[in-house]
Structure 1
């Protein structure tokens, strides 16, 4: 379940529809909204600096399904001759949750960073002849690669060297640094949500659980419904405490542990694990050989321990995390 979004953000779907292009409500949000963007026209090439609240459907071609999740399906296709990924968000069971997921996907759409998947265009309108029913919205994104870290960790047979693990981790930390600097928390960082390009660059994807923090220094945000994946969820979120960027750092610690060990973080019943994480400070084991048999492994063990500390204030910031990773090798 994605993090809740104010009802004022869930705007009506009834907007004018043209066959060629379809404007979404995001171009009409109130002043101050993070979803306010220019509806820039595209002329032969996709604009790289700004994302558009218009999808030119005639130029979106050759859609082939490549994945699916709780709120929709991801396709590979072409848009103005560029290879893209297209996410179609549909109402599966809970329409409100589906719409929340769509809007949350756009929390980082205005950001441009080499380690964050770039949003190209998005709309809540779909031409009738292209709709499968129950459509909430469509998002066109850069195609960042067909491989994710989950597949790298558990699906590839070749060894995953420690320096490669640190390199992947550094890419993820750079993405977090940029997100957090702009007041966005991802809240679902895990290997499956980190894409790996053909050049071996990691890009953070799937912002359906993300949250835009308040700009007020005294504001504390608590989520009425917790998003994310339970194995990577920070204990303070499980306890209903305030959301902060340190929740992503906790998830980073679990993800880095998976990279180094190539093992699942926990075995057993979900509810027992959640209770033990909160009540008994349960964490994945750091007694594996990878953490004990080399100086680099010992440094990684220390960093991971800091990242998943039960006290969020003891965890490093994304800036500090990047510094610690830079001196590992």
Structure 2
């Protein structure tokens, strides 16, 4: 089943605070009741721990929570942890859909065991919060590396910042590398969009916010969406037609979203205007896509190559879209002749 934790185990009986009141554990590994989950402290640049991320958070080491942003299922804070800057995400309860908000928390951990320069790194996660950090509306907390204060949507919207060919191609290549890595490990993100791509101080893109993600069955074969996996969705402007229709999903859904994101990098515009329901219907029924006619990039010498690449990425049929490992060669075809 394409879920990090089956829905029947979202609140398992063996979820309990550790004996050390400074730490709390999440039920990602079975362990007998009454024992302490032994996970070494993971220094960010210190000694190597026995695993890539921790199921305990040493709350006494958390300092200075500063709000950074919020979304449908959570709020993100900038904090200090073990002497380093981190991002702390609290996944909140949804009064309208409690199951979806719980699944969103577990989905955040789908890529926790993976490490790649273009994917935000998870440091620790827990479902237990001590009283002095308490938030009655919170389901769980995820500690991640702090990438920076900007995302791609902000860069696109900020007309004062240049976004020439070399820069948008480099950003697109970063996203493509991240997707290639995720798909190779059978993780589909399902909410690729500029706002979910963070920029580091070194101007490197990192894919963030895995709250809609799924871990596919072994072999990355297409998996049908279970009625109990209710958090699948993402942002409607970037959502693949097969997801809008409630059909089976595959990594090709991320490639569709990548195509919409690539168009935004090229044009610095929003994909659609008008009523949400009209857009949803038109994408499915009339093959509506962002315009590839009016912007200067499509009237230039490389315009035909840009239109062709986008058409492949956002094809209505997932099987007609390029795989993630084909995206980098595809981007090379978009470079203007020198």
TM-score normalised to the size of structure 1?
Answer: 0.91
Which among 88, 91, 94 is matched to residue 89 of structure 1?
91
Aligned to 1:34: none
Write the distance in 2 (CA, Å) between the matches of 1:98 and 1:324.
36
Aligned to 1:15: 16
Aligned to 1:198: 201
Write the distance in 2 (CA, Å) between the matches of 1:23 and 1:67.
25
Answer yes or no: is the 8 Å Cα contact 2:42–2:53 preserved in 1: no
Write the distance in 1 (CA, Å) between the matches of 2:121 and 2:221.
31
Which among 291, 294, 301 is matched to residue 288 of structure 1?
294
Write the distance in 1 (CA, Å) between the matches of 2:43 and 2:325.
38
Change (3 A) 1:87 1:62: same
Aligned to 1:323: 329
Answer yes or no: is the 8 Å Cα contact 1:40–1:51 preserved in 2: no
Write the distance in 2 (CA, Å) between the matches of 1:284 and 1:106.
32
Answer yes or no: is the 8 Å Cα contact 1:54–1:123 preserved in 2: yes
Farther-moved stretch of structure 1 (85-94 vs 246-255): 85-94
**Contiguous gaps of at least 5 residues in structure 2:** 32-36
Write the distance in 1 (CA, Å) between the matches of 2:270 and 2:77.
28
Kindly provide the CA deviation profile for residues 120-152 of structure 1, in whole angstroms up to 9, marking residues without a partner as x: 000111012210213211100000111000100
Answer yes or no: is the 8 Å Cα contact 1:38–1:53 preserved in 2: no
Change (3 A) 1:5 1:277: farther
Change (3 A) 1:223 1:161: farther
Change (3 A) 1:277 1:5: farther
Aligned to 1:33: none
Write the distance in 1 (CA, Å) between the matches of 2:162 and 2:44.
43
Aligned to 1:106: 109
Q: Tell whether 2:238 aligns with 1:241.
A: no
Change (3 A) 1:140 1:314: same
Kindly provide the CA deviation profile for residues 225-281 of structure 1, in whole angstroms up to 9, marking residues without a partner as x: 441000000001112221100000000000010111111100111111111100110
Structure 1 stretches of at least 4 aligned residues deviating more than 4 Å after TM superposition: 43-49, 216-219
Aligned to 2:34: none
Secondary structure at the residue paired with 1:76?
strand
Write the distance in 2 (CA, Å) between the matches of 1:241 and 1:306.
20
**Contiguous gaps of at least 5 residues in structure 1:** 30-36
Kindly provide the CA deviation profile for residues 274-310 of structure 1, in whole angstroms up to 9, marking residues without a partner as x: 1110011000000033333333343222111110011
Write the distance in 1 (CA, Å) between the matches of 2:150 and 2:41.
31
Secondary structure at the residue paired with 1:85?
strand
Secondary structure at the residue paired with 2:176?
helix
Please show how residues 206-245 of structure 1 align to structure 2 within 5 Å: 206-215=209-218, 220-224=223-227, 225=230, 226-245=232-251
Q: Tell whether 2:69 aligns with 1:63.
A: no
Structure 1 residue 163: Cα displacement:
1.6
Structure 1 residue 9: Cα displacement:
4.0
Change (3 A) 1:45 1:242: same
Structure 1 residue 197: Cα displacement:
0.9
Write the distance in 1 (CA, Å) between the matches of 2:186 and 2:63.
35
Answer yes or no: is the 8 Å Cα contact 2:78–2:86 preserved in 1: yes
Change (3 A) 1:142 1:108: same
Write the distance in 1 (CA, Å) between the matches of 2:12 and 2:279.
40
Aligned to 1:6: 6
Aligned to 1:273: 279
Write the distance in 1 (CA, Å) between the matches of 2:89 and 2:175.
22
Write the distance in 1 (CA, Å) between the matches of 2:149 and 2:237.
24
Write the distance in 2 (CA, Å) between the matches of 1:223 and 1:263.
34
Secondary structure at the residue paired with 1:86?
strand
